[in-house]
Amino acid sequence: MAKVERVRQEVQAPLDAAELERQAGQGWKMVAIEWERELPEAQTQKLTEEVPFGLQVSADAGRLEENPIEREALFLMMELTIQDGPYSVIAEELNRRGYRTRQGMKWTPISVFQMLPRLIDVGPQIFATQEWQQRRKRMAVAGTK
- Position 8 in a domain: no
Q: What is the pLDDT of residue 93?
A: 97
CA-CA-CA-CA dihedral for 46, 47, 52, 58, to nearest 10: -140
Give the total number of structural domains in the chain.
2
Do both 77 and 137 map to the same domain?
yes
Are 31 and 76 contained in the same domain?
Answer: no
Check whether residue 67 and residue 134 sit in a common domain: yes
Co-location of 36 and 81 in the same domain: no
Own/partner contacts of 79-82, CB < 8 Å, gap of 24 or more, are 79/135, 79/139, 81/119, 82/139
Mean pLDDT value of segment 12-36: 86
Q: In the chain, what percentage of residues exceed pLDDT 90?
A: 53
**pLDDT tens digits for 101-117?**
999 999 999 999 999 99
pLDDT given for residue 56 in this prediction: 94
Quick: pLDDT tens for 39-71: 787 665 555 678 999 999 998 888 899 999 999
For residue 5, the 8-state DSSP code is -
Distance CA 127, CA 136 (A): 9
Question: Whole-angstrom Cα distance, residue 22 to residue 10?
Answer: 16
For residue 63, is it within any domain?
A: yes
Q: Which domain holds residue 94?
A: 55-144
